[in-house]
Structure 1
Amino acid sequence: MQEYGIRTATAGDLGEARAVMLDAVYRDFGTGYVPRWHADIIDPERFYLAPPRHTLLVAVDERDGAVAATAALDARGPAHPPNPRWLAERYPSGETAQLRRVYVRPEHRRRGLARRMVAELLAFAQADGGYRSVYLHTYPDSTGAMGLWRSLAKVVCDERAEVPGGGSGAVHFEIPAL
Structure 2
Amino acid sequence: MQNYRIRTATVADLDGARAVMLDAVYRDFGTGYVPAWHADIIDPGAFYLTPPRHTLLVAVDEENGAVAATAALDARGPAHPPNPRPLAERFPSGETAQLRRVCVRPEHRRRGLARRLVAELLDFARADGGYRSVYLHTHPDSPGAMGLWRTLGKAVWDDRDDAPGGNGVVHFEIPLA
TM-score (ref. length: structure 2): 0.98
Q: CA deviation at 1:166?
A: 5.8
- Counterparts of 1:6 and 1:83, CA distance in 2: 31
Name the aligned partner's letter for residue 35 of structure 1: P
Partner of residue 127, structure 2: 127
- Counterparts of 1:21 and 1:41, CA distance in 2: 7
Whether the 8 Å contact between 2:122 and 2:176 is mirrored in structure 1 is no
- Counterparts of 1:169 and 1:20, CA distance in 2: 22
Partner of residue 89, structure 1: 89
1:33-44 matched pairs, under 5 angstroms: 33-44=33-44
Partner of residue 173, structure 2: 174
Q: CA deviation at 1:84?
A: 0.3
- Counterparts of 2:57 and 2:66, CA distance in 1: 13
Aligned Cα root-mean-square deviation (Å): 0.9
- Counterparts of 2:175 and 2:54, CA distance in 1: 20
Q: CA deviation at 1:169?
A: 1.2
Whether the 8 Å contact between 1:160 and 1:166 is mirrored in structure 2 is no
Q: Could you say what secondary structure the match of 2:86 adopts? A: helix
- Counterparts of 2:58 and 2:165, CA distance in 1: 33
Gaps of 5+ in 2: none
1:27-176 matched pairs, under 5 angstroms: 27-161=27-161, 163-165=162-164, 167-176=166-175
- Counterparts of 1:155 and 1:22, CA distance in 2: 25
Size of the aligned set, in residue pairs, is 177
Instruction: Give runs of ≥4 in structure 1 deviating > 3 Å.
Output: none
Q: Could you say what secondary structure the match of 1:165 adopts? A: coil
- Counterparts of 1:158 and 1:30, CA distance in 2: 19
**Would the alpha carbon gap of residues 149 and 166 (structure 1) be closer, same or farther in structure 2, given more than 3 Å must change?**
farther
Name the aligned partner's letter for residue 21 of structure 2: M
Q: CA deviation at 1:164?
A: 4.3
Q: CA deviation at 1:20?
A: 0.3
Gaps of 5+ in 1: none
- Counterparts of 2:150 and 2:163, CA distance in 1: 23
Name the aligned partner's letter for residue 139 of structure 2: Y
TM-score (ref. length: structure 1): 0.97
